[in-house]
Structure 1
Amino acid sequence: MVLKGYPRLSETFIAQEILALERRGLRLEIWSLRRPTDRFHHPMHKAIRAPVAYLPEYLHNAPLRVMRGALAALRRPRLPALLALFARDFVRDPTASRLRRLGQALVLARELPAESAHIHVHFLHTPASVARYAALLTGRGWSFSAHAKDIWTTPDWELAEKLRDARWGVTCTRDGQRRLDELAQGRTLLAYHGLDLGRFPEAPSRNDPRDGTDPAAPLRLLCVGRLVAKKGHDDLIDALAGLPTTLHWRLALIGGGELCGALEARVRECGLAGRVTFQGALAQPAVIAAMREADLFVLPTKPGPGGDRDGLPNVLMEAASQALPILATAFGGTPEFISDGVHGVLVQPGDPAALAAALIGMAGDPDRRRRLGAAARARLVKDFSEEAAVSLIAGRLRVSAGLGAAAIGSAPEVSPCVS
């Protein structure tokens, strides 16, 4: 498995998938382009047995590894094909980042154990370039899991060529699948992440009648997501600033990111400093505990700079696992999970006034919140368990690694593994 960074708090869906694949008997290795920067790890990371190796994030920091990779490449018959491919890419993307991807691929190609039979990569942008170059040089096959930013910010020419070269691929929303199918019809399968519900506690009863009218019992709002533009925290703050003074509420923001300082300043400017708490990035048990205490989950995602956008945020499914009512935007993959008025409430992205109106309506109707939360949990249990996606990916990986279409859950032969 080639990843951009590992482990990452914001990528629970990847850790969950790796753990599930291991439990189905697949032998995995993790190769990460970056070292971790988060202060905490999820319990899932401790349960994963796959060894982890880190490629040089910057080539000048590991000149000997890069040199050994380059010298080893000189002895490989596929080097001319790799150099021709890289030259075509570099003409269209003449950046230091492109050179770094080649250097990382040379290191990966040299250091991959011989028994690593197949390369699978998460994200079609930078990590897929490294995986593609290394696969070509070593004669291995490669496959991908595409998600959100990689689908919407990678140039069309690069996506189309990667789709052509990969043996197979999956993505986690119909929204993303449609985008990839426009470039290469039928090359990408749909595999919703889902949740392993065995890792989550049963939902609380949700019988508290808080409606925001009692200052001693304010409505408890929760938003979980990296503090980046596409999550729409600025719209949420503006919406909260527009609520009537008679509505009493508190908001907990969980997540870290580049916009933390700017959002804190915006909260102060709006006079909300005493009502909004920035809690930083937290491990999953703390996030679930916060969801169990909250009255309403809010996630107003929208388009980010350069076309960046979310797919189907896993935190929506985590909130649903606790029957926490959801207010979100009809954007990206969210409507594939939440139907407006059935499993939650959806408003248009980038519209703080509509968000404020929805907040007021949901605050004053605890019974409706309870019904929506229960419906979202039922939707999760019925249609978004992890089983279908992991079974699909595990089956494909078995075939790609030369293990045959073994029954799910059976142990593989002792050798080939997936990197």
Structure 2
Amino acid sequence: MNVAVMGTGYVGLNTAVSLALHGHQVVGIDVDEEKVKQLKQRICPIYEPGLEEAMRSMMDQGFLRFDHTLNGEAKDAEILFICVGTPEAEDGSANLAYLFAAVEEVREAYKRKPSKRGVVIKSTVPVGTGDRVAGLLGDCKELHVISNPEFLREGSALQDALNPSRIVIGAESPEAFSLLDELYKGFAAPVVKTTRQTAELIKYASNAFLATRISFMNELARLSTVLGTNIQTVARGMGLDSRIGPEFLRAGLGYGGSCFPKDTIALLHVGKQHGVALNILEQVREVNRTQPAWCVQLISERLSGLRGKRVAVLGLAFKPDTDDIRESRSLAVLHQLLQEGAIVSAYDPISTETVKKLYPQVEYARDIYDALTDADAALLATEWKECVNLDWQKAKAAMAQPVLFDGRNAWSSDLVKQYGFSYQGVGRS
């Protein structure tokens, strides 16, 4: 099928490349002409494992092209994906300005060439947005508005797009469902067909529930620290119950990124709009907000205060295998450490230059051991492989004090203790 993907961020670009890999003719559309120029030069604007190589391959084979308008390469598209950003507005709601701008572009394209097309909203939007879009395009009789939320994890987004855990399709007509049946014919995944509003709520509910699991384990980790129990063993014992499962039971610094923080507050806003209190979700956000400060307090207690102490922070991106620092818990840690008067050195293999603009007072290291030099404590904030698999003898020799705080529970406590380190994990005695 001929497909246009409006927006070439994480969702849009991975969607475009995955559909091209499945044999569709895809045009990526972005209003940023400089970005489109970069893409046409086969330069990927985001860091995502395997994405740039796959993008170049699909461009070379003629399955993937880029343009800044629906008027050119994409004028014959049968499916129009909207994958634009819906950032958090000041009041906590989702800012839909980019989405409605894209909808207006779709309207203009339809007027120039009326034809049967599916308008697929893949952006994360409040419940009812698809119906609003359908109302705005109501006079474009052959356009079918469909909700088709994404479930991509940064760091494995391309694989998730190629092999989705499920495909959720929200539509109001048999014609709309048949368009996406044809598009996803080569995908082996369970398909959920429902209304647009239900599809939109599935997306928010999924992210809110995963965020809840994380904050629940972080609250238990605080209790575990006081009790002297091991939260990892607790998590394993819980996860073996088939009703619970092992995923997202890892205690740590909390969740970040472009989805969980934004989507949880947007869902809270939807609840308030409709007079429904989502009290559990309120507490989920509060635990996540305070978790970095709680972790820094443990370091402070171990060092008898942080003023003038050098702390090495290993990892700045919100998770490994991405350059995304949006809502990264590492940044909250940097902020708290600096407030407490610590001297902070930091290392990240990808995100250093971006963070440097936000926290110029931090000392940014060329490599991990440079960051560890003369440190009174080291904090693992992002579990990059190179941050997890250290040369412990070299690390200990570099540090002023052999004190480790494992903010992701990724280091082996038994191993580092063999090298003479003092170790503290999150909820690990």
Normalising by structure 2, what TM-score?
A: 0.34
Normalising by structure 1, what TM-score?
A: 0.35
